[in-house]
Amino acid sequence: MKHATKKIPAFKNEADERSFWESHDSSEYLDWNQANDASFANLKPSTKPISIRLPEAMLERIKMEANKRDVPYQSLIKIWLSERLDKAA
């Protein structure tokens, strides 16, 4: 369903544009029914550092497994956690 849209004004800078969109509804300026899906395949998901206590022997075993696979041990832990979560789903 096409509807009339207002003309988006020209902005002097990014701060002016940001201020404008903070106080205006974009649906008055854009016909979102005409929008295309966007794919950002190269974006990395946000990560958050955590601290976890592991027995030293367990950490050493994890590091040895990571070394066999030629991956950093923290990456291997993430892979294993992801696989386990996928199985649980």
> pLDDT tens across 56-66, in order?
999 999 999 99
Residues 52 and 85 occupy one common structural domain: yes
41 assigned to some structural domain: no
Report the C-alpha gap between 14 and 5 in whole angstroms. Answer: 22
Q: Are residues 22 and 59 in the same domain?
A: no
Same domain (yes/no): 50, 29: no
Residue 30 · residue 5 · CB < 8 Å: yes
The predicted-structure confidence for 15-34, as pLDDT tens digits, reads as follows 999 999 999 999 899 888 88
Give, as one character, the DSSP assignment of residue 41: T
- Of 41 and 36, the structure prediction assigns the larger pLDDT to 36
32 and 50 in a single domain? The answer is no
Domain, as residue range, for 83: 46-89
Q: Mean of the pLDDT values across residues 24-51?
A: 88
Q: Could you tell me if 52 and 76 lie in one domain?
A: yes
